[in-house]
Structure 1
Amino acid sequence: MVKEKDAVNHPEHYESGSYECIDEMIAVFGMSVVANFCLCNVWEYRYRALNKNGKEDMEKSDWYMCKYMELKKAMSAAYED
């Protein structure tokens, strides 16, 4: 079975190792740092979308916003325990 390319959710260049890049970043730098990284990427992809990759950049921006919200929720849940 041939894996379909997904430049937004699973870019090939971020899946070259055993883990996706974002998961390694969380393990190395922690959720808080990666959450802030995601928020910066939201802004970056939205800022350049009209001048670069349009719809794909907006989809990437949305992906990073979802990841940011996922990490914030996980951090809040961990704080409440």
Structure 2
Amino acid sequence: MVEITEKDLQDVPLDNVNHPNHYKTGKYECMGVMLETQGEEAVKGFCICNAFKYLYRHKRKNGREDIEKAKWYLERYLELVK
């Protein structure tokens, strides 16, 4: 599980792609908690589905930011299948 310290929270600028504030609670990020509670296979499926969602909607919602989010989820997936 990825642990984030108080110093990490102070040093990280707002980043809606890599570390969105709305996916943090205390010292843990949602992805780490999902891995711990749901397991690797479920999280891999989640990553693929989220990448698809961001690619599907990018022209109608957040453009480049959604493409970057899709890329982020595909990179997480690739990390999990190593």
TM score, norm. by length of structure 2: 0.84
Q: Which has the higher strand share?
A: 2
Aligned equivalent of 2:72, options 54, 60, 63: 63
Per-residue Cα deviation, 1:25-77 (whole angstroms, up to 9, x for no partner): 0000011100000000010000000000000000000000000110111xxxx
* Structure with the greater alpha carbon radius of gyration: 1
Give 2:44's aligned residue. Answer: 35
CA RMSD of aligned residues (A): 1.2
Identity %: 47
Q: Distance in 1 between matches of 2:63 and 2:21?
A: 20
TM score, norm. by length of structure 1: 0.85
After TM superposition, list the pairs within 5 Å mapping 1:35-54 onto structure 2.
35-54=44-63
Asked if residue 26 in structure 1 is aligned to residue 39 in structure 2, the reply is no
* Deviant stretches of 4+, over 4 Å: none
In structure 1, what residue type is equivalent to 2:44? Answer: A
